[in-house]
C-alpha cells in the first residue's frame, strides 16, 4: 500500500475510444503526490492538464492506467464509490468559479458540506470567514467580484476538510494582483490544515506558491523545475 495521496501509473486517455487513431490527451503519465504537498503542474494549453485532473477526480475514466487516491483504486471503487470519495475527500477549485448562481455565498459553501454528510451552517460561515468573506454570506455570486467569487469557491472546496484539493487554473480569470491573493489564501489554508493541493496551470503564477513543480508536455509529465527557472 502506497502512502501517497495520489498515485498515478502509466495513465493514457484517448477521447476517441473507438478509433485510437487520433492523438491521446494523456500518453503514459505517472505521478505520486505525498500527503500535505503543494504541487503545481505547469503546461501549455492542450497539454492534458484538465484531462489529468478530471481523471484523478474520478469525473472521467482513463483508457488505461492506474489511479489510486489514498490507496484506493478508482477503477475498483465503481461509480458510487468514486462519487462518495469525491464528496467527502476531494475539493475542487475551477477557473470560472462554478458557483451556483441561485444560491448565496453561504448556501454554496453549505451545499458542499451537506454533500459530505454534514449539515451545519456555522461551519459554512466559519469557512467563509477563513477566506476573509465575513459579512458577505448573503450575497449572490453576481453581487461579488471575481476574486470574492473565487474565495467562495475556495471556502466551498475546503469546508469539508478534504484530504486533497484539486485546482484547475485557479487564477485564470483574475488579474495578477487578485490572482496572487487567491493563491496566498489557497496555499496557506492548505498548509495550515495539512491538505494536499494540486494546481494545474499554463501561467507561472501558481508555480511560485508550490513546494514542487512538474511540467506537462503533450500528455506526459516530463521534468522538474525550480520556480526560479519559470
Ligand X SMILES: Nc1ncnc2c1ncn2[C@@H]1O[C@H](COP(=O)(O)OP(=O)(O)OP(=O)(O)O)[C@@H](O)[C@H]1O
CA-atom Rg of the chain in angstroms: 17
Number of Cβ within a 10 Å radius of residue 51: 22
Among residues 15, 143, 188, 193, the one that binds ligand X under rule CB under 6 A: 15
**Bridge partners, residue 90, by sequence:** 164
Distance of closest approach, residue 208 Cβ to ligand X, in angstroms: 18
Q: How many residues bind ligand X (CB under 6 A)?
A: 11
Angle at 156 between CA 155 and CA 160, to 5 degrees: 95
Distance of closest approach, residue 194 Cβ to Mg ion, in angstroms: 27
Task: Please tell me whether residue 170 binds ligand X under the rule CB under 6 A.
Answer: no
Distance of closest approach, residue 201 Cβ to Mg ion, in angstroms: 9
Among residues 9, 32, 50, 208, the one that binds Mg ion under rule CB under 5 A: 50
Does residue 45 contact residue 216 with C-beta atoms inside 8 Å?
no
Cell 468559479 appears where? 97
Site string for ligand X, 17-56 (x = CB under 6 A): --------x-----------------x-xxxxxxx-----
Which residue, 202 or 212, is less far from Mg ion as judged by CB? 202
Which residue number has the CB closest to Mg ion? 50
Cell 470574492 appears where? 148
Q: For residue 1, count CB atoms less than 10 angstroms from its CB and return exposed for 0-12, middle for 13-18, buried for 19 or more.
A: exposed
> Kind and range of the H or E element at 212?
strand 212-217
Binding-site ranges for ligand X (CB under 6 A) = 15, 25, 43, 45-51, 202
Binding-site ranges for Mg ion (CB under 5 A) = 50
Amino acid at each position: 500500500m502506497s502512502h501517497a495521496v495520489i498515485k498515478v501509473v502509466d495513465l493514457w486517455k484517448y477521447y476517441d475510444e473507438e478509433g485510437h487513431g487520433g492523438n491521446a490527451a494523456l500518453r503514459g503519465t505517472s505521478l505520486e503526490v505525498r500527503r500535505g504537498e503543494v504541487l503545481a503542474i505547469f503546461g501549455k494549453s492542450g497539454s492534458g492538464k484538465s484531462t489529468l485532473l478530471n481523471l484523478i477526480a474520478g469525473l472521467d475514466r482513463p483508457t488505461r492506467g492506474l489511479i489510486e487516491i489514498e490507496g484506493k483504486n478508482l477503477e475498483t471503487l465503481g461509480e458510487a464509490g468514486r462519487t462518495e470519495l469525491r464528496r467527502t475527500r476531494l475539493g475542487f477549485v475551477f477557473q470560472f468559479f462554478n458557483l451556483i448562481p441561485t444560491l448565496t455565498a453561504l448556501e454554496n459553501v453549505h451545499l458542499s458540506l451537506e454533500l459530505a454528510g454534514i449539515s451545519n451552517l456555522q461551519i459554512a460561515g466559519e469557512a467563509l470567514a477563513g477566506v476573509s468573506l465575513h459579512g458577505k454570506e448573503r450575497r449572490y455570486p453576481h453581487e461579488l467580484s471575481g476574486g470574492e467569487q473565487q474565495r467562495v469557491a475556495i471556502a466551498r472546496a475546503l469546508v469539508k476538510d478534504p484530504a486533497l484539493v484539486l485546482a484547475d487554473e485557479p487564477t485564470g480569470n483574475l488579474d495578477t494582483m487578485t490572482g496572487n491573493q487567491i493563491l496566498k489564501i489557497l496555499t496557506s489554508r492548505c498548509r495550515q490544515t495539512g491538505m494536499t493541493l494540486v494546481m494545474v496551470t499554463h501561467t507561472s503564477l501558481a508555480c511560485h506558491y508550490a513546494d514542487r513543480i512538474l511540467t506537462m508536455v503533450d500528455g506526459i509529465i516530463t521534468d522538474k523545475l525550480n520556480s526560479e527557472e519559470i
